[in-house]
Amino acid sequence: MSDDARGWRIALVPDSLLDIRGTSSTALPDVVSVLEESGYGLLQLPPPGEHRLLLAVIADQVAEYSHHGYAVVAIGVRGEVGEGLHWRRLAPLLRHRGAALPPRHILRPDRDAAAERQRLAAFLTGYDLPLEEQRRWRV
């Protein structure tokens, strides 16, 4: 895939973190820009609510990625229902599809946004699949 620019890393992101009005009114960092800088793509999770069908569709996609050499993480927000990640619903859907649960990073709106941004960037930069897995798939 030599002509291909994909970063092979993806973050599950709560709906609220894509709302720039939300992040400008709280201490949360602009997560989309951190993901851009870190070379991650994102999968947007729905807002609080049932969303059974949509979460199943998202679980299908996460399983497909995790079975083919992509690193998947989840970014939650402390204080939101289920940290914005729908984990109680999503985790069994992923297990059912034989996909490992993505490592989670939880943002803290009660902390300094710049520090939270740094903490998130360090998490994103530091995470990837083991080299052996990368070599197997990313050619």
Partner 1 sequence: MEQNAPHKVALIANCLLNQNAKVCQGANYRGVVSPVVEALRRRGYLLQQLPCPELAFAGVRRWWAVYEQYDTPAYREHCRRLAQAIAPQIEQYLRRGDEVILIGLDGSPSSGVRFTSSNPDWGGRPNRPQDDWKIVPRRGIWIEELEAELARRGLPQLPATGWALDMGCFDEAGARRDLEEFLDSRERAAGSQGKDPAAP
Q: How far is the CB of 37 from partner 1 (least distance, A)?
A: 10
Q: How far is the CB of 8 from partner 1 (least distance, A)?
A: 7
- Does 58 participate in binding partner 1 (rule CB under 8 A)? yes
Question: Would you give the binding string for partner 1 spanning residues 17-36, x where CB under 8 A is met?
Answer: -xxxx--xx------x--xx
- Give the torsion sign (CA, 51, 76, 103, 87): negative
Distances in Å between the alpha carbon of 50 and those of 45, 55, 88, 90, 109? 12, 9, 11, 11, 25
- Does 46 participate in binding partner 1 (rule CB under 8 A)? yes
Q: Choose between 61 and 118: whose C-beta lies nearer to partner 1.
A: 61
Question: Would you give the binding string for partner 1 spanning residues 61-90, x where CB under 8 A is met?
Answer: x--xx--x-x--------------------
- Does 129 participate in binding partner 1 (rule CB under 8 A)? no
- Does 103 participate in binding partner 1 (rule CB under 8 A)? no
Q: DSSP letter string over the chain? A: -TT----SEEEEE-GGGG-HHHHHSSS---HHHHHHHHT-EEEEPPPSS--HHHHHHHHHHHHHHHTTT-EEEEEEETTSGGGGTTHHHHHHHHHHTTPPPPPEEEE-TTS-HHHHHHHHHHHHHH----HHHHHHH--
Number of amino acids touching partner 1 (CB under 8 A)? 39
Contacts with partner 1, residue ranges (CB under 8 A): 1, 3-10, 18-21, 24-25, 32, 35-36, 38-44, 46-47, 51, 53-54, 56-58, 60-61, 64-65, 68, 70
